[in-house]
Structure 1
Amino acid sequence: MTNLLEYQIRQLFKISPTQDIQAITSLFKTENIKKGDFFLQKEKVANKLAFLQEGYIRIFVETPYREITQWVSTPGYFITDLPAFMYNKPSRWNMQALVDCQLLVITKQDYLQIHNILPDWNEVEKHFIIHCFTTLEERIYSHIAMSAEERYQLFFQNNKDLFNQIPLQYIASMLGITPETLSRIRKKLL
């Protein structure tokens, strides 16, 4: 299993005993997804959670008017439709590989077994959910309280590598702006 997954579990879940981390990571199985294939599709039940080892996964939805990219996940992060995963609901999102990807995947059934490994799992999981909620709240705040240029600068500061790896229209969509506005902002800042 990867040291990166162990590191993220240690950081996000605040788990320290190595044997607990190794027991949890043993529940994850390697899954490879080819460019263009889906990890999860809209209206399908999300029955797995993945840790992205290599590649980029675009999280998006198609509306009658346009396609909206919610996020592009990069190596070192977990992906799923969290409400769909936790409540056995159909997913709202499509999750598609932008390049060949390697994932470490845990099924919902195995995820539910973690409480057998860690008796205080409910408390640990609560911290993870709070982390997810905080990240989401920060994105909402940036969309309602920051200008397009400020959102771009913040995103660029935190995700420089993505600009050379994925189409700029996905970045524009994540920022809630048009590709033309993104081009104007980039031109102005150069």
Structure 2
Amino acid sequence: MHDNLSEYLKIKLPDIEKNWDKLEKFFVKSNFEKGSILLDEGDIATEIYIVISGALRLWHNDDGRDITMQFFFENQMVSSFESFYLGEPSGFSIESIENTEVLMLSKKNFDLIRRLYPSIEPDVTSLICERFIEYRNIFFSQIQYSPEERYRELEKNEPEILERVPLHFVASFLGITPVSLSRIRKRKL
């Protein structure tokens, strides 16, 4: 196994692991301090980030209201994929919520790898489909469940978010105010 290759890539993109000695040069390690913006909403996404350590959040500004779409931890990949693929302005920002180390893959190098190793295309497509299914699930959760039910689901299925993410971001993710989140948490005690 290759030390610099994330577990995520080893599992999700086995052809990259098989050819890591030739591909490693395309993945750039980078560190971001807590609170760093990796992508600003409205900019075109030119990088894919694979989290080695730390945490990132994908969020949208809705007329001054912060809406967190998703959190990403070790061995997860994030980009504004619509922007990355289509070369259009991103509808999201990406921010580090902990000091974070990532592997970055530029759009130019991503396209080069896809040309050199076309066998990775089905795996890449599968990853992107997984992300869109996750977005759909988040969307349906927002319209189907009460805030308290969404909190209980988060507590049951993704406790790492409650352990690592500041509560105001958790509230934003759940689509509620920090005060409402505080009330829900107090009722649980």
Quickly name the TM-score band, shorter chain normalised: 0.7 to 0.9
- Work out the percentage of aligned pairs sharing the same amino acid: 24
Alpha-carbon distance in 1 for matches of 2:102, 2:160 = 20
Matched, 1:8 2:8: yes
The letter for the 2-side match of 1:8 is Y
More divergent stretch after superposition (19-28 vs 163-172): 19-28
1:96-153 per-position Cα deviation (integer Å, ceiling 9, x unaligned): 2222211100000110122244232332222112211211121122112222222111
Offset of 1:18 from its aligned partner?
Answer: 4.3
Shift of 1:28: 1.0
Residues 20 and 161 of structure 1, relative CA distance in 2, 3 Å threshold: same
The 3 A distance-change label for structure 1 pair 22 and 188 is farther
* Deviation larger for 126-135 or 159-168: 159-168
Please tell me the residue identity of whatever aligns with 1:125: V
Shift of 1:17: 7.9
Secondary structure of residue in 2 paired with 1:58: strand
Gaps of 5+ in 2: none
1:44 corresponds to which residue?
Answer: 43
1:82 paired to 2:81 = yes
Secondary structure of the 1:67 match is strand
CA distance in 2, matches of 1:87, 1:110: 16
Q: How many residues align?
A: 188
**How far is the alpha carbon of 1:71 from its aligned partner?**
2.4
CA–CA distance in 2 between the matches of 1:75 and 1:158? Answer: 17
Structure 2 vs 1, CA of residues 166 and 115 (structure 1 numbering), >3 Å: closer, same or farther?
closer
Unaligned segments of structure 1, at least 5 residues: none
Q: What is residue 177 of structure 1 aligned with on the other side?
A: 176
**What is the TM-score when the length of structure 1 is the normalising length?**
0.86
The RMSD of aligned alpha carbons is 2.2
